[in-house]
Structures are given as C-alpha cells and as structure tokens.
Structure 1
Amino acid sequence: MWRHIASNAITLLIVLVFLLGGLILWGQSEYKAEGPLDTQICLRVERGTNVSRVSRKLEDQGAITSGTLFRLGMDYADQTAKLKAGSYLVPEHSSMSQIAEIITRGGASTCGTEVVYRIGIVRDRVEVRELDPATSAYVEKADFVMGEDETPAEYTRVREQGDTRYRIAMAEGVTTWQVVEALKAFDVLKGEITEVPPEGMLAPSNYEVRPGDDRQALIDQMRDAQEKILAAAWEGRDPDLPLASPEEVLILASIIEKETGVPTERYEVASVFVNRLRKGMRLQTDPTVIYGITKGQRILGRGLRQSELRKATPYNTYVIEGLPPGPIANPGRESIEAAVHPEDTDYIFFVAKTLNPRDGHAFATTLDEHNANVRRYREAEANQ
C-alpha cells in the first residue's frame, strides 16, 4: 500500500515539475512575444517610481497583457533595479522584453518634452515642443525670445520636470560672437565663457545639454567638432586648389555659407570663388564687406553704401586681392566640403534671381551673361 502511495506521489511530483516547466516556458514565450500595441506610445517613467507602477501604466496604455508577467520577467532578467527615469518611445507591437530593455538601458529620453534653444542668424529663440507618438512629429507648446518676451508658463512647467530634454541648435552661418552671447542668455547653462575661439571655429550642429552644464565646456565641444571636420576636409581635398591651408579653407567656406541660402548651390558658389582665385580676380562679395563693418557683432539691417564698397578695409573684397584675413562666420560641414570639392564649372559670376534667397542664383561665365542676369534681377526687384 505504502509503495503504491509513494509511486503515485512521485508521479504527481513529476507531473507538477513538467507543468511548472511548461508554465515557465510559456511565460518566457509570452514575455518575448509581440505586444498588443497598435500605435507607438510615449511612456513616462517618473523619478522615484518602481516597476509595479510602470507595469500598471503599461497595462492602462494597452502596451502589455499582464503586469504580473512583466514584473516577473524583469525580476528574472535582473532588470528591476536598473529602471531609469525618463520619457521613452515604445514602438508598436513591442514585446515585454523589448519594453524592459527600453526603460532600463538609460541614455537620453526618446520622446516627451524637449526644449530647443535656437541660435539663429537674426535672433535667438527658445522652443518648447512635445513629440506626438502617433505621428512621430513634434507639436510646438511655446516659442519665445529669452530676455525679450515674457517667459511662458509652459517653459517654467517643463523646466521642473526631471525628464525634459534640452538641446542647443546652432544655425550655419552664425558668428562666434552670436554664439557666445546666446549661450550667456540661455538659463539652462551655468559658468563663464573664458576662452572664445577664433571666428569660424565652432561647428554648427545640435548639442544635447543638461541643466547646469558648463558654458565653456560646450564651447570647447563645438570647437573640437569643427577642428575634426576641418582636418578631415583638408586631408581629402581636391588637388590643385588655390588654398594654402586649412585656415584658408575655413575662410572660403564661411563666405560660401553667407552667400547662399540654397544648400544645393554651395558647390556652384564655391566654383565661382575658386575660379576667381585661380584667375587672380577679386572675390567681390558683399558678406565680407558687411563683416568688416559689423565685426560679426550685429546685423547690418540695411544695404551697403557705395562709400563702404569703395573703402579699403581688410575685409573689403571689392578692393583687396584674394581672401580676407579670417572667416566671417561659422560654416557648416557642407560649406566646408564645398570649399574643398567645388563643382567643376567655368562660372565667375553669380547674382540672385529674386529678392527671395530661396530662389537661388543665376550663374554666368561671361560679363555679358552676368549683366543680362543682373537686368532680370532688377526687373524682378522692380515688380516686387
């Protein structure tokens, strides 16, 4: 009898082990299976929260089928203690395993609220925007000029959130003075700027920052980025360019940057200036004259006077031979590439097609062609 009972008990135990093993395999399969989300969502993990609260939020948003299984899976993978605060974009049909990886790997938030400090040619703006996970497009919540406009309540609110992301967006063609003054005004940063790099040596780009980041450290980062871009461009430059050094590349690139607002024209504009340098012709470009007047520290806000075009200054390329003594702005990567890889043309003239910079320029190889283009521009100017 006892032998029969022991045999049944062993059989039951084996069945239970198999059932438990099957349950574990099922759980693992479910944890890694495609999730129920039909559209991606933005999951906010608040500072100080725990996996239980996150799992309930995921259930409420329809991202997972079982909060219990999600918690057990994170425990099994030893991820519970690795939960990171932030706002994370959870793609459609993400598995529980994939979601756990998203919220524990750290790094910058991938959705939610973003504050963008834009350093522009004419003015600097602060933009508060939020990612709409349904469309993957940002929705503007506030836009203002710091120090001029009243600070929106939305800006104050998001500054108090721990998962708000911050970015400095530096436009191509701004001057070093403009960058320094903008960074001084942006209240997300701290510290003094004690070493200002030469004109042209800051790389226009987007820079992720955190509240309290040091201004000088950011300037150094911008300078390091530009040095690498310039060094690579100089190393891979076209042969027989009439440019003697990386510094001259930077000067030409800054002129290209200021001469056209149409990105696809950069290489044609570069060809005009390279052809002129090869022929010993003066560059005759207005932006250099303007820089000689403003030193890059203000917007001229008017047309150039004839007296200014005739006055001999180091930056007046209507008077001096060759390049001016230094860059006139901070050129972007594409303008630097255009300077070292100009398009192969015979162009030596160009003029705007209309008063709208986005309409581009008309290029010419002879003075007669150029004069005809100028007449068309004057006609467009008169009609407008």
Structure 2
Amino acid sequence: MNTTMNVVFCGGGTAGHVSPMLAMADSLANSYQDTDIDVNILMIGTAEGMEATLIPDAGYEFATIEKVPMPRSVSLDLFSLPFRLRAAVKQARKLLREHQTQVVVGVGGYAATPVYLAARAEKIPVIVHEGNARPGLANKLAARFATVVACAFEDTDLPGAIHVGMPLRSEVAQLPMGPTMRDEARRSLGLDSDKTTLVVTGGSSGAQNINTAIAGALDDLLATGAQILHLTGRDKVITDGDGNRIDKPGYVQVEYIDGLSRVYQAADLIVARAGGGTVHEIAAIGLPSVLVPLPIGNGEQDLNAASLRESGAAVVVADEYFTSQWVATRLPDLLKDQARLEYMAQTAKNFGINDAAETMVRIISETKVAR
C-alpha cells in the first residue's frame, strides 16, 4: 500500500529564490521515484514574481497568494499591512489544508512570510533554507519557530542554522567539465573552440552598468585574442555610437540563454553579479570569476562574494567602480594569465558543495509529520 508525502515549497520573487526550490523538489521527487511513497509537491508564490513562469515551466503544481511587501516608509500601505498580511495568511492556510501538507519548505521572498505563519497556525513543521549570507526578513521571522534552519553560507546569522550549501539542480551540480565538453559547448554557442573565452552576464534581466562597462572596453578585451560571450539581458542590445547593434569578430551578444550549463562549460572566466545561486554554482563547477555585487538590497551580494574574494578565487569590484576604464586596465591581464585562472578555478572548487539538494531531501524526509 502506497503512502504519501505532501510537501509545500514557498517563496520566490527572483530566479535566485526559485532555483533552489526547484533543485530540492527535483531531488525529492527523484529520491522516491522507485518506492511505494507518492510525493506530492505544491509550490506557493506570487503572481508577480519569476516563480509564476519558472515553476509551471518546470512542471510543478503552482498556486499564488497575494504579494505583501513591507513598506519602506510611513504610508497608507504601512497602515494596511496587517489586513493584507492576514488575508494572505488565510489564503495560505486554505492551500495547506487542501494539500494535506506534512511539511513546509521555504526559501524567503514575498510569498514566504504568509505561508510560514499559516504553517505555524496549522501546526505544520517549517524548514527554512536561506540562500544569502545576510538573511532576509521572511527567513529571520521563520527562524524563530522553524523546526530546521539551513543555510547556504557558513556564517549566516540565523539562530540554530546548519550549513548545507546551496541546492543546485542536477544539470549544474553534475555538470561534466573538461576540454571535450568545453569545445562542444563553445561550438554550440557560436564560439571558436580554441579561443580563451570571457562570459559576461548580469542575470536574466541584464545589468546596465556591466553592459556599458564591457561595451566601452571591447577593443581592449578583443586585443588579447580572447572571445566574448555577452548575455545582455532580455530586451537589451549593445549598440555603437550610431545606435547600431555591435557586431565584431570574437564578440557574440545574446539577450538570454535558458539554462547556463553550456555557458559555464564554455567559459575560462565569467563576469557576473554575486547572487547566492551564482556564487555557489561557480564554486561547484570551479570557475574563475569577476563578481560585481548588486548595489541594492541589504548588501547581501557583497557578503556572498566574501569567501571567494578572500581566498583569491574571485576578483570582486563594487558596481560603481566597474567602469570601462577598470575593465580595460584589469581584465586583459587576467585573461592572459593562465596560471592565475587555473589557481582561481581550483580554489573556487574547494568551496563548492554539490550535494546540498540531497542533504535537504534527507532533512525534509525526517521532518514531515503524519497527516
């Protein structure tokens, strides 16, 4: 006779929140694939976040609750906050009951707080996973009553937190590297298989400052003999002074690539933001990086990059200093220094954790309650 495991994952807003949810869900489903336990997974987010697209595309059941952001100043929104939060918690309690939920796993973001509070009211155990070095408000709240608090970074300041790493989807955690895969990946991306390759990405939405800095230093970068794959972000195109799309030998720009596995395989060096997911992916793979922390939020991206910077695995530069002049004077030497790139790659890999998703599955399996 089959038994059931009914799990709810909650959170979202950004791809950095959604990716670990999907990684945990994939690992959980795969772990019980050939057993007499039926795993039923529901994911709860908001209609406005990236989860509204990414989760259904991944094939998981998805439900939404109202977005309840914390107002940053005294306003009508602040005074209406308790009423909006109460309504969202009521929505979440209904979803948890209908799913006969045995455990809630949250990663933070707008949808997480109402679901955490709903789970507490329903006496359902809560597992928190914090993906940044500096925790967000939702996870700070839930950590006070959660059954288990797990974190991606070792020094995350949450009570009772255990360090497990960042849950990564199998296509990244088990990504094959090496010369053969590198050459195949480069050819599939329209690149020369024999050239040193710089990858630039500001995330799915792009990063205007990174784009501008790279565009202004293109000639200096290409003069090294390297080639550049530039992921500019959706609806962003790098143009010259006349407004024409820049088209130079050795420079390939695309707005977006679904899944970065091939991109990682192709790269000798990557320029990227320092989101928790990005930092852990490049560490797990062993990829040299120049990290440009996003200069908004609570400074978590700068903290995310700290370990790689201090060990020499990454160069970290503040967004305001990442200019065309900085790129032109610093990146060419780095691209030509093969010994340093190899050192950075190996040092990054020493920080990599590839089995965090499996660790979280063990925690979820041990935490669920009978319903």
> Would you call these one fold, judging by a TM-score over 0.5?
no
The TM-score, its normalising length taken from structure 1, stands at: 0.26
Higher relative contact order (CA 8 A, sep 6+): 2
Which has more radius of gyration? 1
